[in-house]
Amino acid sequence: MDLLSLFIIIAVAMTLAYFRLPLWAWVLTYFVLTVAGVTTRHYVDWPTWAKMLSGITTLTLFGFLLTPLRRLLISDRLYNWFRKVLPTVSQTEQEALEAGTVWWDAELFSGRPRWKKLLSAPKPRLSEEEQKFLDGPVEELCEMLSDWDIREAKNLPEDVWRFIKEKRFLSMIIPQQYGGLEFSALGNSAVVMKLASRNLTAAVTVMVPNSLGPGELLLHYGTEEQRNHYLPRLARGEEIPCFALTSPSAGSDAASMPDRGVVCKGMYQGKEVLGMRVTWDKRYITLAPVSTVLGLAFRAFDPDGLLGSKKELGITCALIPTNTPGVEIGNRHMPVGAVFMNGPTRGTDVFIPMDWVIGGQKRVGQGWRMLMHSLAAGRAISLPALGAAGGKMSSLITGAYARIRKQFKMPIGYFEGIEEPLARMGGITYRMDAARQLTLVALALGEKPSVLSAILKYHLTEGNRQAINDAMDVHGGKGIIQGPNNYLAAAYKTIPISITVEGANILTRSMIIFGQGAIRCHPYLLKEMNAAGGEAGKGSRRAFDKALFAHVGFIISNLVRAFVMGITGAKLVRSPVGGPTAMYYRQINRMSAAFTFVADLILLTYGGRFKFKEKMSGRLADVLSHLYMASAALKRFEDDGQPAADLPLVHWALRDSLLTIQNRLIAVLRNYPVAIVGRLVSWLIFPFGLPYNEPRDSTGKHVARLLLSDNAARDRLTAGVYRSPGEDAAGLVHAAFAAVLEAAPAERALKNALKEVVSIDNYESLVQRGVDAGVITEEQASLVRRAQQLSAKVISVDEFPRAKIESGYAEPVESAAAAQAS
């Protein structure tokens, strides 16, 4: 057997694996090669061991092709082992796994994503009614909001509450037939995002009734009578809903709630009816202190068999008017940095008729399934909108401030130390908003992407945290002094809220994203689990055999694909687009194959124990997340018409994602329990070393300069946030930024002629000297004066009489610097 023959066989085998040809194609190809070897007398010259190996290979391939033989020798034996090591899955875990759908995440888990599917998805587009609402009532509501006044009053003003109800902000998910606005997920997200860019309390007040809660559950699971009664009243704001899920002893592990309802008969409106006596203790419930209708999740029990033979019925959801005797509600929690209504609710043996169960008696015990299906979609809308708002506002206002604020005789934004956080803000914001928009498109297509919604919840709230931290660093002292002139403090202090709610981020990353993603998105794993987890009959064994051997081929294919793309740098991979972003499509293909192979290796190694390997799960979650967000950034670039001005943002986002993917895969393999195998797989995936590096300094400089000037790319990046036209703190920054840019030519002329840099300390004398010398005109002098006066107002901070601070209410006085600027 000469080296040429061996090379041909290996090359053909790798080609078959790379393109995932079926098993019969392997057998046919091997048969052709063998016949060719015999007929050309190469076979006669083979040594004995090579002939034996050839015979064994032939028998093995034909054995794999013959299903009965394959099952007898391999799959039936593995089936029994697989059933033993399969981790126990509780009913609530099973319902969580079955909730929602998969979409582009499944493509990324295939190791061979079909880009046509992604690029053919429609561009996100608001309806005419949604855009009018944003330009009208939302804009008007933003104008009514004063962040400082709301925080000091610890509530929204009465006129704001009234406006929210009258304009039906609480009805965005309610169909028009019930009097609601019936907005799309994109419209819902756009409203929340714009409000959040102005005031978090107003945004949360509007967000919660349009997210997971009574309205959503009634729409999908309520009886006709329940919908007809509640939905019009919710749409008009006559009813304020809240939903109580979290208990003191059941936070992230909400399914273990101790709250219980016992089926019994009781008196309601003078009649004996079938119902439940419910006892609960809930906390952290948004809108609870002002709610009129309480959505409640609890465990239902039927000890007397009034509904049948089953005693433990499962988690159930009900709607309870808050004026029902025994309902305790009204006390408030004070969330850090925010004053939206939030508080506890309790009740002891409160009797509720069976008609108050959402969906009626037939839905008793189905509450967890209802919640998981609703959360699969809802989690992709509300909190991601808050995260995108934070990133956009941080980029918009920090870029402006860095251009306005001067130190060492130049705008601070031109220092490389400031360029770095500005670039990070811009790149992260571009990626976050791209992922938000793409997931909303999936919702519009009818998907309920539970894994993608978890990715968004985690990465957009974490991205928001990073952006606002960077904004605070750039602002320095301006950001840490409280008062009406501080437009960052509230957003900074409220970050832990979005990090914690709807699944704490630590839990979401370490258990949900990859934990669910591996099972839901993998093309074969769930099929194997279902086959092995059911009744051990012929049908399940046959299904297991089919899934198992497809899975084996899948693993081999991804290993070969990852290695081939590694040694070629993925340069031979076909990209669906040309131009400067084509290389990123190729690299995502490469990393998709590498990720899927490593994921299979880890799952095969740990089996059921992987459920407790949360560090591994978290790293793999980061890989899947960045594959998705990088894809979203590429899709956005195409949707926007490939604007060249946006390329620095695309390059930064993609390079950062690829670096994260690479580092997480390396971390997984370094911690693989068999070190030599981990090193071998690392070499197979990255045969010539680690190819990805952090974004170039030049890329970061370009991103920073986008934020430091007025341009179309900056407008696209920050689209959808509220830009205050007034003289509040944020409005002053926008006005000063425009004035500074307009005065820049005159200031350059003064610097060149008089050899001095214009500042807030010298502008009066310098401007007059420039006018007298004919360096600038009187009109230009006015521009410079206005720019410096506004800049002085922007960099000023609040000061308070000591007595008023210590008395508990702080009303600021005008600082000397601000007074002088005025």
Residues forming the active site: 502
Report CA torsion sign: 192, 194, 200, 202.
negative
- Measured CA to CA, the distance from residue 342 to residue 282 in angstroms comes to 11
- Measured CA to CA, the distance from residue 743 to residue 454 in angstroms comes to 46
Q: Is 570 left (phi over 0), alpha (psi -120 to 50) or beta?
A: left
- Measured CA to CA, the distance from residue 254 to residue 421 in angstroms comes to 37
For residue 96, what are its two tokens?
């969580």
- Measured CA to CA, the distance from residue 262 to residue 649 in angstroms comes to 57
Indicate the helix (H) or strand (E) that contains 608. none
- Measured CA to CA, the distance from residue 365 to residue 346 in angstroms comes to 21
- Measured CA to CA, the distance from residue 649 to residue 646 in angstroms comes to 5
- Measured CA to CA, the distance from residue 18 to residue 112 in angstroms comes to 10
- Measured CA to CA, the distance from residue 761 to residue 784 in angstroms comes to 13
Say if strands 241-244 and 260-268 run parallel, antiparallel, or are unpaired. unpaired
Task: Calculate Rg over the CA atoms of the chain.
Answer: 31
Indicate the helix (H) or strand (E) that contains 19. none
Find the DSSP H helices in 40-146: 48-65, 67-70, 76-85, 91-98, 104-108, 115-119, 128-133, 139-144
Say if strands 328-329 and 312-321 run parallel, antiparallel, or are unpaired. unpaired
Say if strands 241-244 and 271-286 run parallel, antiparallel, or are unpaired. unpaired
Q: Determine the longest span between alpha carbons in the chain, in angstroms.
A: 104
CA angle 406, 409, 412 (to 5 degrees): 35
Burial label, 708 (beta-carbon count in 10 A; 0-12, 13-18, 19+): buried
Query: Quick one: which of 392, 398, 400 has its CA closest to 736?
Result: 400
* Other beta carbons less than 10 A from residue 321's beta carbon: 13
CA angle 155, 158, 159 (to 5 degrees): 125
Length of the chain: 822
